[in-house]
Amino acid sequence: MKIIIDKYVPFIEGVLEPYAEVIYADPVDINPNTVKDVDALIVRTRTKCNESLLKDSKVRFVATATIGYDHIDAAYCEQQGIAWQNAAGCNATAVKQYVGAAIQHFAKCFQMDLTTKTLGIVGVGHVGKLVEKMAREWGMKVLCCDPPRAKKEGQIGFVALNELAERADIITFHTPLQRHGQDKTYHICDADFLALLKPDACIINAARGGIIDEDALLQTHYPQRAIIDCWEGEPNLNLTLLERVLLGTFHIAGYSLLGKVNATTQSVQGLARCFGLDDLYDWKAPLPEGYDPDAFYDIQADDKALRATPHLFESMRDSYPLR
C-alpha cells in the first residue's frame, strides 16, 4: 500500500510506515502524476480532490485533516467508489476559543455590556453548539439559525435567517460552504442580509471563505465592525477589505494543538478502518501533559501579523505555532 500525506499534517510521521510506503508531500506537489499509483491520501484544504486529481489513479480513500470539505468532490468520489472523510468537529474547541476572543474584543472596542447583547449563530453544529454554551454562560441572549437542523428537529429553538439579522448585535457564522441547493450558504451574508442588520451590528466569519459576499460588505460600514478569519480567494486576499476590517486573521481560527491532534487522530482511524489496519482502529495522537485548550489567545497578534505581510498568508498558515 502507498499513501501520500500532506507534509503539514502534524503528529503522523512514523505512524503508518509499518503498514505502507508513506510519502510526505508539499500540497503543491500532490498532483495527478504523483497520486497515480497511490492507494490513499491524507490532505488539507489546499488539495482539490476532484476528477482532475483522481482520474486514472488507484486512490481508494481520501481523508482531509480539516473540518471543511468543500475541496473534496464528494459526488465524484462516491461515483468512483472512493471512500472519503473529513475530521468533523476536530477544531470546534479552537474555533470557540477564537470566537470568544473576537467577542471580547468587540466588547472592549465598543464598550459593550455583553449581558445586554444578543449573539446570532448561523450554523449550530459542532462549533456553533460550543459557542452557544459559552455565550449563555456569559449572560448573553442567543439566537440560533440552522435550517438543516430545524427541518430534522423542528422549529423550536431556531429562528429564520432574516429574523436573526434583524435582532442580533453580534453575528457569527459556523456553516459549511454549500454553493448550491436548498441549504446554500455561499454568500449567505449578502447585500440583502446586510441591509437587515442593526447599524451597530458586529460580524465574525470563522467558517469558510465565500460565506460573506465581500464586495457587498465593502459597500457598507460593517467592515469596521467585522472580524474575518476566512476569506474569498484565499490565499489572495481582498486587501481593501483587510485594511477596513476591525481584525483580520489568516484562516487559523481552528489551528490549535487540540484541533490538530483530533484531526490527525480521525484521519488515521478512518484510513485504518478502510484498509483493515486493526492495530490503528483506536490510535490517538498524543496531547502534551498539562495542555489547556482554553488558555488565553491573543487575537490581535495574529491580526498584526497578517496586516504586516498579507502576501505570506499561505506560509504563515502553514508555519502557524499551534496554540
The residues that are catalytic are 208, 234, 251
Cβ-Cβ contacts under 8 Å for 151 (sequence gap 6 or more) = none
Q: Strands of the chain (E only): list them.
A: 2-6, 21-25, 40-43, 61-64, 83-85, 118-122, 141-145, 170-173, 202-205, 226-228, 247-248
CA gyration radius, the chain: 20
199 preceded by a cis bond (ω within 30 of 0):
no
Question: How many angstroms separate the CA atoms of 65 and 267, rounded?
Answer: 6
Whether 252 and 229 have beta carbons less than 8 Å apart is answered as yes
Cβ-Cβ contacts under 8 Å for 262 (sequence gap 6 or more) = 87, 89, 90, 91, 285
